[in-house]
Amino acid sequence: IEDKANDMTHFYEEAAALLRGRRKEPLRIAFYGDSNMTMDFISGELRRSLQLGYGDAGHGYVALGRPWSWYKHMDVQHDVDSGWISYTVSTNRAPDIRYGFAGISAHSTRPGAVTYVATAPEGSPVGLTAQVFDLYYMKEPGYGTFEIRADGELIHTVDSYAPVPEPAVFRFTLPDAAHRIEFVSGPKPVRLFGVTLERARPGFVVDSLGVGALNCFMQVKQDRAVVVETLRRRNYDLVMWLTGSNMWNPGGHPMWMKDLIERHREALPGRSILLMSPPGFIDHVTDTKTHWRMKQVQKEKRDIAIANKTAYWDLQSAMG
């Protein structure tokens, strides 16, 4: 990791406190990515490694929309029925550009629509139980109520009406056990962003924030106030970007990444930020070298990290 500005200091200090038993709450990592992340393989392996070694503090964030059949996290269960529109910053944009920090949201189209998450199936290495749940959603003048059902039982009815639009977080707790949580729409529309599954114990949590075709230009085309407020509530210790495979604008790339970094520093002052180069990319199966454009983005990412005093890790070089 290249870190001339020592931007990883916060993360290292908090990780040391966790490992020495002085930190009592989960250490949270945000991991943004494009299609490489939408099946949670890279972020999921990181989550498994950290949790098997240092404690399972819960799966973390799962979007309540499912824009693509291949959007599927490891070590958790989740799906959405046909009564929801799954908006994303990339392939199906919301008219009001409100998604929360993760770039995916679910908008109900009929009463009784269900989107759900559940703890990992038996035999999974991590994620078998959860205890603390934070639901991220939008409150607006035209929105109504929705139900939260845990293991088949109604536990809360949430009113998402507000005189002016504002993001909200609803926290609820259950015994530390296996659970299935359903969110059921009422007569009026509702907009749900996602839900976190955690345990009331120290350990690592890795939020996989993958969006198909994602780049930094799409990320800045969101409601800034909604992004900042939801990020503030999530309270990350480290934010990572594995993006760039879909970046075709060398002139705009530094400007848009700077905007993104500033938003996260506004919401999470003093927290660590790590930029990563995109992985390899080839044009044809007979190619043996990474495409020239990925080499260009690799250099851009390093330059952006230096200019904005963040850490940088060269995934292309690490891949060999």
Q: What is the rounded end-to-end Cα distance, in angstroms, of the chain?
A: 16
Confidence band, pLDDT 50/70/90 cuts, at residue 50: very high
What pLDDT shows up at residue 94? 97
Who contacts 216 (Cβ-Cβ below 8 Å, separation ≥6)?
241, 243, 247, 253, 256, 257, 259, 260
Q: Where are the alpha helices (DSSP H) in the chain?
A: 9-19, 41-54, 216-220, 224-234, 253-267, 292-307, 315-319
Grade residue 115 by pLDDT with cuts at 50, 70 and 90.
very high
The secondary structure element, H or E, covering residue 211 is none
| Minimum mean pLDDT range among 119-128, 147-156, 232-241, 279-288 | 279-288
Q: What is the DSSP string of 70-124?
A: T---TTEEEEE-TTEEEEESSSS--TT---TTTTEEEEE-STT-EEEEEEPPTT-
What local confidence, expressed as pLDDT, does residue 284 receive? 81
**Confidence category of residue 273, pLDDT binned at 50, 70, 90:** very high
Q: What is the pLDDT of residue 320?
A: 79
Compute, in degrees rounded to 10, the torsion defined by CA atoms 97, 100, 106, 110: -80
Q: 123 pLDDT band (50/70/90 cuts)?
A: very high
Which pLDDT does position 288 carry in this prediction?
Answer: 81
> At 31, which amino acid appears?
F
pTM of the full predicted structure?
0.96
Q: What does the block give as tokens for 62?
A: 């799962």
Residue 33 CA, chain-centre distance (Å), reads 9
pLDDT, position 298: 94
- The yes-or-no verdict on residue 215 having pLDDT over 80 is yes
pLDDT digits (tens, 9 = 90+) for 187-205: 999 999 999 999 999 999 9
What proportion of the chain, given as a percentage, has pLDDT over 70?
100
For residue 148, the cross-strand partners are 156, 183
* Of 45-49, 251-255, 286-290, minimum mean pLDDT range: 286-290
